Amino acid sequence: MFPDKYNVQEFVPTCAYTKINIGGPGRYLAEIDQTEDLIALVRHCIREKIRYVVLGHGSNVFFSDKGFPGLVIVNFCTGMKLTGKTSVRCESGMALSALNRWCVENSLTGFEFSSGIPGTIGGAIFGNAGAYGKNIGQCLMGAVVLMPDGSVLSVERDFFEFAYRDSSLKRNRGIVLSADFAFEKGAREKIVHKVKDILAMRAAKLPPEHIATAGSYFKNLKDEAGQPIPAAKYLESVGSKETVIGGMRVFEGHANIFVNSGSATADDLLKLERLLKKRVQEKYRLLLEREVMYLF
């Protein structure tokens, strides 16, 4: 089925590869740390008509209780090289936190917003991750992308059609292999201060790192002027913080974050999602949209 060099395993619990710790067994799973192997393995799946998904840190995703019927490729490609005095190329499996630290160490500004955001470069581009009015699309210059037909493209930022928590990758199913970023020189003291401020703000309202969660579950909404309105505002008003279904509960500090208490299933999470969507829709005639990815 697969070449031996990729060490593909069978029936591995996918929950072990998601931060929310939910998911049944993956039919196949491989951990890959070389970009050329990632390309070759995806091309193998295309030729053999095997379903596949490429996963980073699994911080914004959960799997079905039945698992995944194809190949789960866990991306551990973390290479990085300078392309200029203030620019860098990162492989897509690199952690956002690693790039954030590198920027601080080199007195580069423009990436402070990513402080405390879990996940990888590839996943962040896929969902246009961001916080406090900034997002990764604003500092991305271009990328190398593996397309569903097996071709590899060098693309510029416009290719991604970035929008709020969205990119073209959600529609064209491309996989980021590496990404080019450009930053600006700044005063290290100011950069450090900003990073500390952001981490403090996150710590005040978000669960500690060890808590099993997928982060903000629903996308924020917009008012008539196009200004963002936190989904948590509506969720809190319909009593979401008191809601528990099976092993899932709503985090007491944030109405749009759902926590696995230790025994939760995907079915519990989907039931919680449907219940809270219904409450908000009935009270406000608004339809919440899931930000977290569900794989089945």
Write down all domains in the chain, each with its CATH number in brackets: 4-75 (3.30.43.10), 80-192 (3.30.465.10), 210-294 (3.90.78.10)
Q: How much is the average pLDDT of 97-112?
A: 98
Q: What is the pLDDT of residue 225?
A: 83
pLDDT at 226 over 90: no
Compute CA distances 25 → 6, 77, 254, 259, whole Å: 19, 23, 30, 21
Task: Map tokens 């920027």 to a residue.
Answer: 103
Compute CA distances 74 → 12, 122, 168, whole Å: 12, 12, 21
Do residues 202 and 254 lie in contact, with contact meaning Cβ atoms separated by under 8 Å?
A: no
Instruction: Name residue 52's amino acid.
Output: Y
pLDDT at 224 over 90: no
Give the catalytic positions in this structure.
165, 216, 291
Mean pLDDT of the chain: 97
Full-model pTM = 0.95
If pLDDT is split at 50, 70 and 90, which confidence band does 228 have?
A: confident
Q: How far is CA 197 from the centre of its chain?
A: 23
Q: How much is the average pLDDT of 223-232?
A: 88
pLDDT at 109 over 90: yes
Task: Map tokens 């299933």 to a residue.
Answer: 265
Do residues 259 and 29 lie in contact, with contact meaning Cβ atoms separated by under 8 Å?
A: no
Task: Report percent pLDDT > 70 for the chain.
Answer: 100
pLDDT at 265 over 90: yes
Q: What is the pLDDT of residues 138-158, one digit of tens each?
A: 999 999 999 999 999 999 999
Q: How much is the average pLDDT of 123-137?
A: 96
Compute CA distances 171 → 41, 126, 178, whole Å: 21, 10, 19
CA-closest candidate to residue 267, choices 21, 11, 16, 22: 22
Q: What is the pLDDT of residue 287?
A: 96
